[in-house]
Amino acid sequence: MEDSIIEVKDVSMCFNLSKEKVDNLKEYVIKAIKGQIKYDEFWALKNISFDIKRGDSVGLVGFNGSGKSTLLKTIAGVLKPTKGEVVVHGSIAPLIELGAGFDMDLTARENVFLNGAILGYSRKEMEGYYDDIVEFSELEAFMDVPVKNFSSGMLARLAFAIATIGTPDILIVDEVLAVGDFKFQEKCMARIQNMVDNGATILFVSHSIEQVERLCKSVVWINKGNLKMIGSSEEICEAYKNSQ
């Protein structure tokens, strides 16, 4: 559609789970070469189709293991769907797996520039954003510490501060706020709301349905890899809460 920023077109995702029991790597390699490794197919997403309009704030709900993260990864381009395709018209700042873009041996400061490069910013642009990242993440005293020494909450703060610099067309937030404390969660919610107000498109997954209701205009409900319902936030959240 014309004003769509994300088009999910009949997306299916299959994971091959090896069900072969082998005693050692050598045996595995020999079996693999002979084509004797058998797999169980597991379809984590089944024929999912929907469009997201530019500027919409979209929540994804569904029980654990229903395929939310897998769907977000196909949208972010981290995973290629087994069938179907995802078309994205714009830049994406993904916050999917905590620490995914980090090198644990590097300091927080070094990781800021590493992540900036991954997101497509020049070193000079990142120097401009640096103070804001440090201030927002409240990690002034820890910028020269290797991030392997960070708690998950500290990592989440740094990752969130980096992902929300500049003006990405699309921000994806997959449950990364859960590890932060309440005060920081509220700060992040305010920053996401601000990005929505400025026209960004948001894809949001949270353990807290209350946060989804507050932030999102539309909601997509995924159940066991199927699209169960899609509609206004009020309608879908109500139905989802009643199903629990």
Ligand X SMILES: Nc1ncnc2c1ncn2[C@@H]1O[C@H](COP(=O)(O)OP(=O)(O)O)[C@@H](O)[C@H]1O
Q: What x-and-dash track marks residues 17-56 binding ligand X by CB under 6 A? A: x------------------------x-x------------
The distance in angstroms from the start CA to the end CA of the chain is 34
Q: Does 88 bind ligand X (CB under 6 A)?
A: no
Looking at the chain, list the stretches that DSSP marks H as alpha helix, in order from N- to C-terminal side: 25-33, 68-76, 108-118, 123-137, 152-163, 182-197, 209-215, 233-242
Measuring CA to CA, how many Å separate 211 from each of 31, 57, 215, 239?
Answer: 49, 12, 6, 16
Among 24, 64, 151, 198, interactor with ligand X by CB under 6 A: 64
Number of residues near ligand X (by CB under 6 A): 12
Q: Does 199 bind ligand X (CB under 6 A)?
A: no
Residue 16 CB, shortest distance to ligand X, in Å, is 8
The pairing of beta strand 4-18 with beta strand 39-53: antiparallel
Tokens representing 96 are: 């999917």
Q: Does 67 bind ligand X (CB under 6 A)?
A: yes
Q: Does 101 bind ligand X (CB under 6 A)?
A: no
Using alpha carbons, select from 46, 181, 38, 172 the residue that is nearest to residue 101: 172
Q: Does 158 bind ligand X (CB under 6 A)?
A: no
Q: Toward ligand X, which CB reaches closer, 62 or 116?
A: 62
Q: What x-and-dash track marks residues 58-77 binding Mg ion by CB under 5 A? A: ----------xx--------
Residue 90's binding partner out of Mg ion, ligand X, none, with CB under 5 to 8 Å set by partner kind: none
State how far Cα 125 lies from the chain centre.
24
State how far Cα 13 lies from the chain centre.
16
Q: Which residues of this chain interact with Mg ion, rule CB under 5 A?
A: 68-69
Q: Which residues of this chain interact with ligand X, rule CB under 6 A?
A: 15, 17, 42, 44, 62, 64-70
